[in-house]
């Protein structure tokens, strides 16, 4: 549970990519701590995924990489992830992880990823920030490069 004690402040940059949607996917993150100067880059992929799954996975893996509760500024270009966190998730939880589809309720897509993200948001204090993709933002471009390289490994195998 989030404490009111001072927390280490970190920046988390994320991106996901797919070749086809669905298709081979990749995710990447950069974690940077301004206080310690430490930086961590990670990426991986999935032979059959969607862009939204990869975007969510990048955020989850970045938060999972933290060894203690932190105050995190999340920089992402995914409206799906950012709106889900800030606007949709609370309603989904109240409705038993269901979303409105016209007049009926249907299960949330990527529910296991959203539920894992929800668990991590109980640990870390996350401040989401939207960055425009493919617009020269250095860390976003690096994450995109890593995510694309991750899915390209699956294209080479086929």
In a domain, 126, yes or no: yes
Q: What are the structure tokens assigned to 49, written together?
A: 């995924």
Residues contacting residue 158 through CB under 8 Å, at least 6 positions apart: none
77, 84, 124, 139: the active-site residue = 77
In a domain, 84, yes or no: yes
Q: Is the pTM of this model over 0.85?
A: yes
In a domain, 1, yes or no: no
Range of the domain at 38: 8-157
Look over the chain and give the mean of its residue pLDDT values, rounded to a whole number. 93
Element (H, E) at 92: helix 89-94
**Domain harbouring 102, CATH code:** 3.30.420.10
Nearest to 44 by CA among 156, 146, 157, 155: 146
**Residue 55 is among the residues annotated as catalytic for this protein:** yes
Per-residue pLDDT of 69-97, as tens digits, reads 999 999 999 999 999 999 999 999 999 99
Helix 138-157 crosses helix 51-64 at what angle (to 10 degrees)? 120
In a domain, 2, yes or no: no
45, 55, 124, 139: the active-site residue = 55
């Amino acid at each position: 549970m989030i404490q009111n004690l001072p927390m280490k402040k970190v920046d988390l940059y994320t991106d996901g990519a797919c070749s086809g949607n669905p298709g081979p996917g990749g995710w990447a993150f950069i974690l940077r701590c301004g206080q310690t100067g430490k930086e961590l880059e990670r990426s991986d992929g999935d032979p059959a995924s969607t862009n939204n799954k990869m975007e969510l996975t990048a955020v989850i893996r970045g938060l999972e990489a933290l060894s203690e509760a932190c105050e995190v500024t999340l920089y992402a270009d995914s409206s799906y992830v950012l709106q889900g966190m800030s606007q949709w998730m609370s309603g989904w939880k109240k409705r038993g992880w269901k979303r409105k589809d016209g007049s009926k309720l249907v299960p949330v897509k990527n529910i296991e990823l959203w539920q894992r993200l929800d668990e991590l948001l109980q640990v870390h204090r996350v401040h989401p920030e939207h960055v425009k993709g493919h617009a020269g933002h250095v860390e976003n471009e690096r994450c995109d490069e890593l995510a694309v390289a991750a899915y390209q490994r699956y294209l080479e195998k086929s």
